[in-house]
Amino acid sequence: MKLATLKDGSRDGRLLVVSRDLRYAVPAQAAGTMQQAIENWMAVEPLLQAEYHALNAGEAAAAFGFDPKAVAAPLPRAYQFVDASAFLNHGKIMEQAYNLSVKKTAGIPILVQRQGDDFLGPCDDYPFPTAADNCDFEGEVAAILDDVPMGVATADAETHIKLFVLLNDVSMRAHLFRELSMGFGFINAKPATVFGPVAVTPDELGDAWRDGRVQLDMRVSRNGEWFGQPNGREMDFSFGQLISHLAYNRNLGAGTVLATGTFSSPHYREVGSACLAERRAVEMIDHGESRTPFMQFGEVLRFEMLGNDGQSVFGAIEHRMVATEVVA
């Protein structure tokens, strides 16, 4: 099943059911918003599935053409957004390039609390104050969870994944090391996050969802030029492990968004990267200097994942970087 949120002038938008081929949509009757659907998933999911099957069969009378520009993030705001660093290769490259010493504990994933009140849609312009912030991107996948009990076992944790979403976790690298050295979390280094057009249930991924990983290429382009396509199979921690660790001593409320961290592959020389910092780090290793510039105003990014059938799974994020408007 594929779901989206139509922009309707409200904070939470209107829940849509979207056809498998992303061509058509219909307003959901079983729930008004994505948050309502997640909070009542056991009751609502069969009804949404019936609407989805009717739409795919051409039997939804209220169907209309689906426009990614008309939608917000699938879950426009979340009570909790947590980002991981589940691809250890990314950290290894950064440590090698910049001679970093990062204190890690074997078998313990790195997680960071993020802000969930400012999610952007897939085609929204992305505003930021100045190019001196060193704007970067990070192609990721996130799970949207239902209520997760404290202490959930790794073996049971993945049953709480109700939807997956595609995202660009924007980073402002000029602020990152300063904030890391202060010992708390990110603020200026991690502004708004951009999400793909639709959220999908795990069954939509077919056999690409296995071993607790979304095993598809993260296809990234910058201004129409290929940048990279690392695969989710390279995750060092499964979603089950991430969820279990996060819920060790707390309950997770329905609608929690848990992201993977930037996709990264040990075969980065062949498959490229999903973020600028990694490419710049590789250049530092190879040439003693970083040569690829950070994002400038007017540039366009695109992120997409194709299923094993060659069809777009989440639709594409395609957005432009723009200067923040000055408010008088």
Q: Kindly state the average pLDDT of the residues 142-157.
A: 98
Residue with the larger pLDDT of the pair 7 and 178? 7
Name residues whose C-beta falls within 8 Å of residue 182's C-beta, 6 or more positions apart in sequence.
none
Residue type, 4: A
First to last CA, the chain: 44
Q: Kindly state the average pLDDT of the residues 41-61.
A: 98
Copy the structure tokens of residue 290: 């970083």
> Quick one: what percent of the chain has pLDDT higher than 90?
91
Residues 85 and 60 in one domain: no
Name residues whose C-beta falls within 8 Å of residue 50's C-beta, 6 or more positions apart in sequence.
none
Residues 62 and 119 in one domain: no
**Residue 302 included in any domain:** yes
Q: Kindly state the average pLDDT of the residues 37-56.
A: 98
Q: How far is residue 165's CA from residue 205's CA, in Å, rounded to a whole number?
A: 11
The angle subtended at Cα 226 by Cα 222 and Cα 232, nearest 5°, is: 100
Residues 176 and 257 in one domain: yes
Q: Kindly state the average pLDDT of the residues 286-313.
A: 97
**Residue 215 included in any domain:** yes
Residues 218 and 166 in one domain: yes
Separate counts of helices (H) and strands (E) for the chain: 8, 21
Indicate the number of domains in the chain. 2
Residues 46 and 149 in one domain: no
pLDDT digits (tens, 9 = 90+) for 260-274: 999 999 999 999 999
**Residue 16 included in any domain:** yes
Residues 305 and 230 in one domain: yes
Q: Kindly state the average pLDDT of the residues 288-292.
A: 96
Query: What pTM did the predictor assign?
Result: 0.96
Q: How far is residue 138's CA from residue 144's CA, in Å, rounded to a whole number?
A: 18
- Picking from 259, 26, 43, the residue whose alpha carbon sits closest to that of residue 161 is 259
Q: Give the domain range for residue 11.
A: 2-69
**Residue 328 included in any domain:** no
Residues 52 and 182 in one domain: no
CATH number, domain with residue 269: 3.90.850.10
Last residue of a domain, one of 45, 69, 93: 69
DSSP 8-state symbol, 79: S
Name residues whose C-beta falls within 8 Å of residue 12's C-beta, 6 or more positions apart in sequence.
5, 33, 34, 35, 76, 77
Residues 112 and 177 in one domain: yes
Residues 262 and 182 in one domain: yes
Please give the pLDDT value at position 130.
Answer: 96
Copy the structure tokens of residue 205: 């991924």
Q: How far is residue 103's CA from residue 244's CA, in Å, rounded to a whole number?
A: 21
Residue 303 pLDDT > 60, yes or no?
Answer: yes
Residues 35 and 104 in one domain: no
Residue 50 pLDDT > 80, yes or no?
Answer: yes
Please give the pLDDT value at position 328.
Answer: 55
pLDDT digits (tens, 9 = 90+) for 158-212: 999 999 999 999 999 999 889 888 888 899 999 999 999 999 999 999 999 999 9
DSSP 8-state symbol, 283: H
The angle subtended at Cα 237 by Cα 274 and Cα 219, nearest 5°, is: 20
- Picking from 296, 304, 165, 314, the residue whose alpha carbon sits closest to that of residue 227 is 304
Last residue of a domain, one of 44, 69, 94: 69
Residues 105 and 14 in one domain: no
**Residue 178 included in any domain:** yes
Integer Rg of the chain from CA:
19
Q: Kindly state the average pLDDT of the residues 213-217.
A: 98
The alpha carbon dihedral of 74, 225, 173, 280 has a sign of positive
**DSSP letters of 4-53?**
EEE--SSSS-EEEEE-TTSSEEEE-SS-SSHHHHHHTHHHHHHHHHHHHH
Residues 247 and 108 in one domain: yes
Name residues whose C-beta falls within 8 Å of residue 185's C-beta, 6 or more positions apart in sequence.
112, 113, 114, 179
